[in-house]
């Protein structure tokens, strides 16, 4: 009788996973060796260019040829660096209720751009705040992960990249359709450099000019975009530790509101990093809106939350 052996599917999956991890490590090692080779060649070409320039002058054909080779090598090196970073990137996994968008924002030379804002907008050009936003890391990497109720509605979402003044550096022409359980990857090429990451909004100017303050402000409007006054905007934390200290404010005639918190008075709140949310109530304490995205308490940060009430 032949020897029968049963192979478990999870054992196969583990073996495949180890093989893929090993393949990624090998790719990173190969790219790093290529970087070393290209960096060495760049040094040699620079020295040769300096030697020939001194001997023949900057306009000699041999000098121009070596300059072209040096420029071409720099371009290849930029591509290799980008591929190395990409190979090191861990591919996120979304559960059945989560949608993930991740990728890189780079300049024309392939270098990552940090401290920029990546957000999703509707076809009409409005920020879809339910889907949140992300700030790019120093290498240009970003990740938006959301479990918003907006998922699964065949929502057309367009990627945009903004700088610290909320100026749009990039606007995608092709929409995404966020779906639970899916992961989308994008690489975005823009020009210019960002300085400070800022959430999407109308303006990133600090209304108090105080670097020690955390500010939450915005505007509450109806479906037509008209501001609604006399509503109560309140902040609350999920665990109810700071509810009595977060307070509330009433919208003015234009629907605008502003909540200012001094860092020194809220040091324990900043250190604990609670999950803070926003809600809008009418004068009868009926809740009209509750944010699905948590706010981050941070000194010197301005959080703009614009709310459109459909009823």
Question: Per-residue pLDDT averaged across 193-212, rounded?
Answer: 52
**End-of-domain residue from the set 131, 156, 189:** 189
In a domain, 206, yes or no: no
- Whether 24 and 67 map to the same domain: the answer is yes
CATH number of the domain that residue 121 is part of: 2.60.40.10
Q: How many domains does the chain have?
A: 3
Q: Is pLDDT larger for residue 310 or for residue 13?
A: 310
pLDDT tens digits, one per residue of 89-129: 667 777 888 899 999 998 887 788 888 999 998 876 778 88
Q: Going by DSSP bridges, is the β-strand pair 141-146/99-106 parallel, antiparallel, or unpaired?
A: antiparallel
**What pLDDT, on the 0 to 100 scale, is given for residue 150?**
72
Whether 20 shows a pLDDT value over 70: the answer reads no
In a domain, 2, yes or no: no
In a domain, 196, yes or no: no
Enclosing domain of residue 249: 213-308
- Whether 103 and 180 map to the same domain: the answer is yes
In this prediction, residue 171 has a pLDDT band, given cuts at 50, 70 and 90, of: confident
Distance of alpha carbon 160 from alpha carbon 200, whole angstroms? 10
Q: What is the pTM of this model?
A: 0.48
Q: Going by DSSP bridges, is the β-strand pair 133-135/117-121 parallel, antiparallel, or unpaired?
A: antiparallel
**End-of-domain residue from the set 155, 189, 223:** 189
**What pLDDT, on the 0 to 100 scale, is given for residue 230?**
92
**What pLDDT, on the 0 to 100 scale, is given for residue 207?**
39
- Whether 103 and 77 map to the same domain: the answer is no
In a domain, 204, yes or no: no
**What pLDDT, on the 0 to 100 scale, is given for residue 84?**
59
In a domain, 208, yes or no: no
**End-of-domain residue from the set 88, 115, 144:** 88
Distance of alpha carbon 247 from alpha carbon 209, whole angstroms? 21
Interaxial angle between packed helices 61-88 and 9-56, expressed in degrees from 0 to 180 and rounded to the nearest 10: 160
Element (H, E) at 290: strand 287-290
């Amino acid at each position: 009788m032949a020897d029968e052996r049963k192979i478990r599917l999870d054992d196969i999956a583990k073996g495949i996973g180890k093989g893929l991890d090993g393949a990624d490590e090998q790719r990173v090692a190969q790219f790093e060796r290529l970087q070393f080779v290209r960096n060495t060649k760049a040094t040699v070409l620079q020295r040769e260019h300096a030697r020939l320039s001194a001997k023949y002058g900057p306009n000699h054909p041999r000098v121009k040829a070596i300059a072209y080779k040096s420029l071409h090598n720099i371009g290849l090196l930029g591509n290799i660096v980008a591929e190395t970073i990409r190979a090191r990137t861990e591919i996120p996994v979304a559960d059945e209720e989560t949608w993930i968008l991740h990728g890189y924002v780079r300049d024309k030379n392939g270098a990552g751009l940090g401290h920029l804002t990546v957000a999703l907008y509707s076809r009409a050009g409005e920020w879809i705040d339910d889907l949140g936003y992300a700030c790019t890391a120093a290498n240009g990497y970003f990740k938006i992960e959301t479990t918003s109720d907006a998922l699964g509605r065949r929502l057309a979402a367009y990627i945009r990249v903004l700088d610290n003044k909320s100026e749009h550096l990039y606007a995608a022409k092709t929409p995404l359709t966020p779906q639970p359980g899916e992961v989308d990857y994008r690489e975005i090429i823009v020009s210019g450099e960002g300085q400070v990451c800022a959430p999407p909004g109308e303006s990133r100017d600090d209304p108090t000019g105080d670097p020690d303050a955390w500010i939450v402000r915005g505007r509450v409007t109806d479906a037509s975009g008209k501001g609604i006054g006399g509503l109560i905007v309140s902040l609350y934390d999920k665990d109810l530790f700071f509810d009595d200290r977060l307070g509330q404010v009433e919208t003015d005639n234009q629907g605008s509101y502003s909540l200012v918190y001094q860092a020194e008075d809220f040091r324990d709140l900043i250190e604990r990093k609670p999950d803070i949310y926003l809600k809008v109530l009418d004068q009868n304490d009926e809740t009209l809106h509750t944010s699905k995205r948590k706010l981050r308490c941070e000194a010197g940060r301005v959080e703009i939350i614009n709310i459109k009430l459909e009823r």
